[in-house]
Amino acid sequence: MSMRTEAGRIAAVAWKDLMTEWRTKANFNAVVFLAVLTLLLFGFALGPDTNALRAAAAGVIWLTILFSGVLAFNRSYQLELEHGALEALLLYPGSHKSLYLGKLLANLAFVLMVELVTVPLAAVLYDLPLLGPLGGLALVLFLGTVGFVALGTFYAAMASRIRAREVLLPLLLFPMLVPVIVAAVEATSALLSGDAMGDAGSWMRLLFVFDVVFVTASVLAFEHVIGE
* Residues that bind other proteins in the complex, under the rule CB under 8 A: 1, 5, 8-9, 11-13, 15-16, 19-20, 23-24, 79, 82-95, 151, 154-155, 158, 162-164, 168, 171-172, 175-176, 178-179, 182-183, 186, 199, 202-203, 206, 209-210, 213-214, 217-218, 221, 224-225, 227-228
Cβ-based neighbours of 161, under 8 Å, separated by 6 or more: 77, 81
User: Based on CB atoms, which residue is closest to other proteins, 8 or 43?
Assistant: 8
Torsion of CA 172, 173, 175, 177, to 10 degrees: 160
Q: What are the backbone dihedrals phi and psi of residue 43, each rounded to the nearest 5 degrees, phi first? A: -60, -45
CB atoms within 10 A of CB 56: 19
CB closer to other proteins, 41 vs 212: 212
CA distances from 101 to 18, 142, 213 (A): 13, 16, 15
Least distance between other proteins and beta carbon 189 (Å): 10
Closest CB 217 distance from other proteins, rounded Å: 6
State the nearest-atom distance from the C-beta of 53 to other proteins, in Å: 20
Q: In the complex, what is the shortest distance from the CB of residue 121 to other proteins, in angstroms, rounded to a whole number?
A: 27
Of residues 134 and 171, the one with the C-beta less far from other proteins: 171
Question: Which of 179, 190, 49, 31 has the alpha carbon at shortest distance from 117?
Answer: 31
